A and B are shown apart, each in its own frame.
Chain A
Amino acid sequence: MLRYLAGRAAVAFFTLLGVSLATFFLIRLIPGDPILLLMPAEREISEERYQQLIIQFGFDRPLWEQYFRYIAGLFSGDLGISAFTRQPVLSEFMSYFPATIELALTATCFGLLLGVPAGMIAALARGTAIDLGLMSAALVGFSMPVFWWGMILITFFSGYLGWTPVSGRISVLYFPTPTTGFMLADTLLGGDLRAFWSALNHLILPTVTLGIIPLAIFARQTRSAMAEVLNEDYVRTARAKGLSEFRVVVVHALRNALIPVTTVVGLTMGGLLAGAILTETVFAWPGIGTWIVKAILSRDYQVIQGGILLIALVLILVNFAVDVLYGVLDPRIRAGGAS
């Protein structure tokens, strides 16, 4: 097991090194100069100020030297500071990331809670109108643009019915102390139940919007995996032994069907962590998607480099967690990995 973990750590290290290298040089290939963007669009920067800032930001040094300074900083835990806000990249990341995790987790849970049962039902009712209806609904959910979904939900639930807030993480009336950064947890820790409900209420529409595509994916994946597993010999054996249909489906079939679903959950969760930009934009959700995109538009090199590296690290950890979960779900994989 130790060898396995050491191997994974080595792969993670070289992956992160590759990410840092690619991000550092690719972002500099895109035309644009962060120093020019520090100044208003309507005025050109004076040459004197430009040269001063070039030196201040270290852009006068050769690229390789800039890269090695960046890597040296990484080893001492310094990801640099944003050219625009002057805040350390790590501290900025930590202020945005909990919002993204909170939303990605709730969206994944929403997708799992509805998608897996829907896939199961469709698999059990293969070829019937129920199967066709559920899978068609999943296809519709998968095909609709997230931006459009968000606007429709806002218009109907917030605008027309007035049930849910339009955007943000919590009503501006509440300003919970950011202990964990997770709004639900912070409001509960603050002991303010009304603030907690406000935060929960603000999560509903973004969760549904972001969770619709994962829901569709989970439903289709579960259906397909279940359909395959239900034809396996051990399922027939279980039935022949006289086990209840519930036990056959849930304990014997579903557990095995969940292995490929788990892979998809891991990949989807990774996608949600890094790619919830549209949902974040529609709901003015302060997550890392918005943060990174704004940094790219303003060529805030340190934020882009540090932010993408941290996202990569999180994705590596999520995938590692998925691998561990494989082992729990399927002892054969655990045994193989350990050997």
Chain B
Amino acid sequence: MNLVRTFIAGALTSLISAGLQSTASAETLVVCTPRSVQNLNAAQQWVTPSVDVMNAMHNRLVEIERGGTKLVPGLATSWEISEDGLIYTFHLRKGVKWHSNPLFTPTRDFNADDVIFTIDRYRDPNHFFHGVGVGSQYFDYTKIDKNIVEMKKVDDYTLQITLAKPTAVFLEQMASESVSIQSAQYGEAMKDAGTPDQVDLQPIGTGPFRFVAFQKEVMTRFAKFDDYWAIKEGDASRGALVDDLVVVVTPDPTVRLAQVKAGECNILIDPSAADVLDLVSTPVEGLALATVPGTSTGLLYCPLLPFSDADQRVPMGDMKVRQAFAHAIDKQAIIEAVFGGATGTVATSFVPPPIPGFVELEPYSRDVEKAKQLLAEAGYPDGFTIELWLAPLNRSYMPNSQRAAELVQADLAEVGVKVNIIAMDMAELRQKRRDAKYAYMAFSGLNMDYPHANAAVDGMFSCGGWSTVCDEEIERLYQAGKVELDKEKSADIYAHLQKRFREVLPVLPLANPIEFQVVSSNVQNYKIHTLGGQAFWGVSIKP
């Protein structure tokens, strides 16, 4: 009997101590995030935490300063651009080690072959790895693949890239996580082993953390990479300062908050607007709110399509109708109701405020009479009926699309436009959008992939682009901006572009998010990074 008692007492003691031990340790940085990485191919990643994961593992030739928009050297220590803007000569960093894994141990450092392998994988349809995975949408829409006409290895550490035409944003485009440099030697080894998929399933990189394990919808685990080049160059602050990094997926925001309160997470990504407001009004000891203006724009998308086969009028084809909508929709009310008045601001441009080249413009005032007048001038004095296709977005630029839809519906009803809200899941919405023949509206957003206003225009507002509005002046400015290498002239072009955009309204900008993250107060030197993935290097935990 005594033995049983001793066992029970021991078990309970261990249980309690194990419970207490379950808080994150000084050596493990735990990040709780709402969405899972889909896979580990860098070129296919778009949303956090996918890009966070890529940022931890990989480097690019050029990188974006942590928490900012400035370009800084990555695997290229410096670069020169020819007078005509066509030839970029990159001087590559020496002594950069690759991670190893149970399948592969590298025998050489990073060099120009790796850059060529990475880009050719997506550029050259005959490349062995071109068909491994599903390609890169980033390469597709930026057209980097078509723009690069030649890559010349001058020597192991000098690479010349020749472009088809001068491109003002080429360096910025190369700083995206989608152009994370992959190992040519690993690719060859996996190809020879007959398991090419492994380059994406068990990736290696040159980044501050090496990949350890991944389970979709559960977590991604990394360990500190001791041979990281920045540490060896004496800049320990640019390397991993914790032993382990674990990105844990917890879809429910309430549970995520409970996790960070219980010490199970050090950093909480995407708290709900309600939780942010609660934490602002009632601070919790041991937790701090980190915040920065977001680099995305929530918008209402209204493609130019006819009412029906019988009625070939295109309601959104008239600029006045789009302007009427801009006057009718109370964007401040959306900020109050959908963003809790704190996690977003009214958007006036398609360019988010932190992006270089953003111009502060006068927002469309809420003016029902003006909206009615514009609709009448466009030939719709009695308004019309249109569908609003609604799928849960759960992005920081549109945290509650259902509520936003109800507000838009009520606002447009005041000017005689009847909005039928049609709810569906994202898969159905994507298919309906692709197959759409008749007029509809939907919420969407613009995420900046690199720190330049052009990132929002590429493939979006140019003629033949996503918005379906083709405006000659926008197209002229877009084409001029793409090749203008002079920064002042470029800023002027994009300022004009934004003013023209405000008038033409290819889409209706609604809100710019303010990004919030909940961070344990023992986390040091963490900065929210809104352009691409979070950077967890240089982040430490105070014991």
Contact = CB atoms under 8 A, between A and B. Distances in A.
Specify whether A and B are partners. yes
Interface of A: 30-34, 36-46, 48-49, 52-53, 56, 83-87, 92, 95, 151, 154-155, 158-159, 162-168, 171-173, 175, 193-194, 197-198, 200-202, 281-284, 286, 290-291, 294, 297-299
B413 to A, nearest CB: 27
A56 B19 contact: no
Contact of B21 (A198, A202, A299): A198
A32 B258 contact: no
A37 B372 CA distance: 38
Interface in B171-220: 197, 200-201, 212-213, 215-219
18 contacts: A33-B430, A36-B430, A36-B431, A38-B44, A41-B393, A41-B445, A86-B133, A151-B255, A159-B258, A166-B258, A172-B248, A175-B213, A193-B14, A194-B17, A194-B18, A290-B217, A298-B427, A299-B427
A197 B15 contact: yes
A45 B258 CA distance: 38
Nearest to A46: B140
A166 B14 contact: no
Contacts of B77: none
A38 B47 CA distance: 12
Contacts of B393: 41
Contacts of A49: 135, 137, 140
B427 A194 contact: no
B109 to A, nearest CB: 28
A284 B219 CA distance: 10
Interface of B: 11, 14-19, 21-22, 24-25, 28, 30, 36, 38-39, 41, 44, 46-47, 131, 133-135, 137, 140-141, 197, 200-201, 212-213, 215-219, 221, 244, 246, 248-252, 254-255, 258-259, 261-262, 264, 393, 424-428, 430-434, 444-447, 459-460, 466
B431 A56 contact: no
B250 A167 contact: yes
Given A165-B262, A173-B28, A86 B39 contact: yes
Contact of B431 (A32, A39, A198, A298): A32
A31 B466 contact: no
Contacts of A33: 427, 430-431, 434
Nearest to B427: A32
Given A159-B261, A172-B28, A201 B255 contact: no
Given A41-B444, A197-B18, A284-B252, 14 more contacts: A31-B424, A32-B425, A40-B47, A43-B141, A49-B135, A85-B39, A86-B201, A151-B254, A166-B262, A167-B250, A171-B21, A171-B264, A175-B221, A200-B18
Given A49-B140, A166-B259, A36 B434 contact: yes
B217 A41 contact: no
Nearest to A159: B258
Given A282-B255, A286-B215, A165 B22 contact: yes
A41 B426 contact: yes
A168 B255 CA distance: 11
A168 B247 CA distance: 12
Nearest to A169: B218
B428 A165 contact: no
Contacts of A193: 14
Contacts of B264: 165-168, 171-172
A54 to B, nearest CB: 11
Contacts of A200: 15, 18
A86 B427 contact: no
Given A32-B425, A36-B431, A173 B137 contact: no
B220 to A, nearest CB: 11
A43 B466 contact: yes
Contacts, number: 180
B396 to A, nearest CB: 13
A284 B250 contact: yes
A37 B262 contact: no
A151 B18 CA distance: 22
Ranked nearest first, the 9 interchain pairs of A and B with the lowest CB-CB distance are A32-B427, A197-B18, A40-B46, A171-B22, A36-B430, A286-B218, A31-B428, A284-B250, A172-B246
B215 A95 contact: yes
Nearest to B38: A84
B422 to A, nearest CB: 12
A35 to B, nearest CB: 8
A198 B18 contact: yes
Given A175-B221, A198-B21, A32 B430 contact: yes
A53 B46 CA distance: 18
A203 to B, nearest CB: 11
Given A154-B255, A158-B258, A39 B137 contact: yes
Given A86-B197, A284-B251, A167 B259 contact: yes
A177 B245 CA distance: 18
B461 to A, nearest CB: 13
Contacts of A34: 427
A290 B28 CA distance: 26
B22 A42 contact: no
A53 B137 CA distance: 12
Contacts of B218: 284, 286
Contacts of B215: 95, 286
A152 to B, nearest CB: 12
Given A37-B430, A39-B137, A198 B252 contact: no
A163 B135 contact: no
A284 B254 CA distance: 12
Given A31-B428, A159-B262, A286 B28 contact: no
Nearest to B37: A85
Contacts of B424: 31
A40 B262 contact: no
A335 B131 CA distance: 59
A46 B36 CA distance: 25
Contacts of A294: 36, 216-217
A314 B408 CA distance: 48
A164 B19 contact: yes
B21 A40 contact: no
A44 to B, nearest CB: 5
Contacts of B44: 38
B135 A52 contact: yes
A86 B250 CA distance: 22
A168 B427 CA distance: 28
Nearest to A193: B14
Nearest to B130: A52
Given A31-B427, A84-B39, A172-B248, A291 B217 contact: yes
Most buried by B among A95, A164, A197: A197
A162 B19 CA distance: 8
A77 B426 CA distance: 32
Most buried by B among A40, A159, A290: A40
A235 to B, nearest CB: 34
B65 to A, nearest CB: 24
A298 to B, nearest CB: 7
B7 to A, nearest CB: 13
Given A42-B446, A173-B28, A163 B19 contact: yes
B322 to A, nearest CB: 20
A106 B413 CA distance: 54
